[in-house]
Chains A and B, each alone.
Chain A
């Protein structure tokens, strides 16, 4: 499995600290030509995986953010209506067939992410973010695209993929995805990183965060996640907090318990959580951090 090792190395080089299984997932993606479905809580770094993948392949990242009501014209292609109208006005009196041929040509076609992804020279990474936010109909359409890799545009004909993109889908689980889509994909569950990995992420991302401080922060965050919070802090929040602590010149959490408590708002995002994290709770958590 030379390739797996290579992928892991390239992931590390790109600054993404992957868990061991992610490299397997990526090598399977290449081998079986299946999309990768990433699930996990908000803030565990699902989108980062796609970014890292793009840098592993040194290729472009094309991102499609899903939302309710997303339709073909926002996801696939759209005609450039303004130009078409102008062209119609300019060629008034010409042969209508010629005008029609002209305004429904490539020149007037606006690529949206899905169409762009299959028409590149080098296979890009196509990130379909938060697929659970789009509706069922879009999911069905996507499924068709992912199996055929061709798009039919009524006025223009069928456009075949020049390359097969590396597709990554993410889901927060706000809606249950269809079994068909799940079957089509490789599945990877992204969990909150363990202490060791989170510490390494902090060290990689935050300049000036030493090994011991990073480890302390990671342990502290792990403790905070175990508290009953309405919004569990994700990796991005950890990084914010680490940056704040480093910025305030904290070298050791035990030396500055007051600062620790005051900067905890980087992690806590609701009033209820803030009021639950009293000084005593912070102290208790800090006590457990070696």
Chain B
């Protein structure tokens, strides 16, 4: 069977394209604004589709464009709404995504860290802590919040994130979190590469290398399958009680996603959002912008159990394999059903290799895991660690390296 109809001549394309190209270009822009990866080539194909007769039938055109412009499931699901909104003038909810970016700034919990909390207290009682506690060097000093001179960067590592109020320092802390993520990644991969020694014969290279011996295999070349890299799945609590920490953890996650070849990130408060794609934006500020749209409702209550249920049901099979570490960053203040949280944690534990629970509040003096949520979750957690300072994040690395 040959292809659809005769190829439109160039003149014809030219004529029609003058009519539609303006609108088509605007449509492509809309798609790009909505995160579609649409290139020049797709634009040309779209124009030739329109001249080939697809333009006469809107539903056919929509279906054709959908195949052409979508690149992943989320695109596929949103496309019809966008198409209808643009070409048929229907109101679609997806459209609000483009305008949502303006709202980003009004979402304080994601973008700012400033805030006032009760005075900090020190030292933790690590319940099952296997990490040398970074909090040993207590963070009383952090009280003054503003450090001077060369020691500033070092000190920042010890400062509880809550105590950083100066915008410049916030930026520094963010940078440090991103750097930390990068450094962790580099060191973790290097370990893998050093281990590469072969057990299987590479026949092709062996023969090739022995042509000079008349084909008699004297020097053997071996090969080995690459070891699977560790995959990191992060679930970040973005609820009100965590608002002081969300910003810096987002930066950390952004750094990790950028560097780890296999990492996925989710955000949850009263519901769960998959944010890996938004976070893949190279520019951190833009990534956060895109994120704040996804995270609308952040800063409210926390339904950890329900969010985990959603995760287990819809995402776990896809993002978790046998070498996956799930990292949950949350204070464990569950406003939903604590029993459900326990059940879902058990289900999650069965799937993945390790569950790491980072609790910023653990750095506070006198904090004990008494909230019903954290109590229900702890039995299923492999590592429960504080995460209120940069050092406590850095202390995670040796643990991850061992897996």
Contact = CB atoms under 8 A, between A and B. Distances in A.
Contacts of B64: 24, 28
Contacts of B207: 79, 81, 84-85
Interface string B296-310: 000000000000000
Given A1-B53, A24-B60, A183-B42, A84 B215 contact: yes
A98 interface: no
Contacts of B39: 183
A108 to B, nearest CB: 11
**On chain A, which size bracket covers the interface?**
35 or more
B345 to A, nearest CB: 16
Contact of A31 (B3, B77, B226): B3
Contacts of B3: 3, 30-31
A3 B4 contact: yes
B204 to A, nearest CB: 6
- Name, among A24, A85, A174, the residue most crowded by chain B CB atoms within 10 Å (CB to CB): A24
B71 A32 contact: no
Contacts of B45: 32, 34
A173 B204 CA distance: 32
Contact of B71 (A81, A84, A187): A187
List the 8 closest A-B pairs by CB distance, nearest first. A182-B71, A189-B76, A187-B70, A88-B215, A31-B4, A24-B63, A186-B67, A30-B3
Contacts, number: 103
Interface string B182-220: 000000000000000000000110010001001100000
A179 interface: yes
A34 B71 CA distance: 13
Interface in A16-57: 20-21, 24-25, 27-28, 30-32, 34, 36, 39, 56-57
A187 B52 contact: no
A78 B4 CA distance: 37
Contact of B76 (A1, A100, A187): A187
A34 B278 CA distance: 27
Given A30-B2, A183-B42, 11 more contacts: A7-B1, A30-B4, A39-B73, A68-B228, A69-B226, A79-B207, A100-B211, A182-B71, A187-B66, A187-B72, A187-B75
Interface in B273-298: 276
A172 B317 CA distance: 10
Given A24-B67, A73-B204, A182 B37 contact: yes
A6 B5 CA distance: 13
- Name, among A88, A100, A176, the residue most crowded by chain B CB atoms within 10 Å (CB to CB): A176
Contact of B68 (A39, A135, A186): A186
A262 interface: no
Nearest to B68: A186
Nearest to A176: B276
Interface of B: 1-5, 37, 39, 41-42, 45, 48-49, 52-54, 57, 60, 63-64, 66-68, 70-73, 75-77, 203-204, 207, 211, 214-215, 225-226, 228, 261-262, 276, 313, 317-318, 321
Contact of A88 (B75, B214, B313, B317): B214
Nearest to A2: B5
A188 interface: yes
B72 A182 contact: yes
B313 A30 contact: no
A228 interface: yes
7 contacts: A21-B67, A30-B4, A79-B207, A81-B207, A172-B318, A187-B70, A188-B67
Contacts of A36: 67
Contact of B60 (A1, A7, A57): A1
Contacts of B71: 179, 182-183, 185, 187
Interface in A122-164: 135-136
A3 B215 contact: no
A31 B73 CA distance: 23
Contacts of B66: 21, 187
A21 B68 CA distance: 12
B220 to A, nearest CB: 14
A174 B321 contact: yes
Contacts of A174: 318, 321
A120 B64 CA distance: 29
Contacts of B70: 187, 189
A179 B39 CA distance: 11
Contacts of B60: 1, 4, 24
Given A24-B60, A88-B215, A187-B72, A228 B4 contact: no
A187 B67 contact: yes
A79 B206 CA distance: 12
Given A68-B225, A78-B204, A31 B63 contact: no
Nearest to A232: B317
